[in-house]
Amino acid sequence: MGEDLFWAIRGGGGASFGVICFLENQIGFRPGNCHEQGTTDIVHRWQYIADEVHQDPLVRVVVMPVNKKGHQTVKAKFVALFLGNGERLHALRDESLPQLCLKDEDYTEMSWI
């Protein structure tokens, strides 16, 4: 790491200054194939197991209100980032939250280089 980059990461100096350097490897998933009626059950279960799930996947749950056919309901979106291969994610997925109904086509595996 160069001296200038180290200086910037430490905080630089008097002015607001920042450098963002990153390599990205992500497997994202979108659970669009589950039953609508189970959304609150899945989110309810997630709040009790989120702290026990393996630390490798970073999972964020976004819950938002929607008006569907004149009825007020909720929509939950699970967004994840996982640094690893698909096989490891399959095992974690099956043990942690199988109700998400995730399939292989829900993942996008890509190189981080």
Complete domains list, the chain, with CATH: 25-106 (3.40.462.20)
Mean pLDDT of all residues in 62-91: 80
Q: What angle do CA 3, 113, 106 make, to 5 degrees?
A: 135
Q: 19-75: per-residue pLDDT in tens?
A: 545 434 444 444 444 545 677 777 888 788 777 777 777 778 888 888 878 888 778
Complete DSSP assignment for 63-113: EEEEEETTEEEEEEEEEEEE-S-HHHHHHHHHHH-GGG---GGG-B-----
CB of 80 closer than 8 Å to CB of 27: yes
- pLDDT class for 77, splitting at 50, 70, 90? confident
What's the confidence (pLDDT) of residue 99?
65
What's the confidence (pLDDT) of residue 29?
44
**Higher-confidence position of 37 and 76:** 76
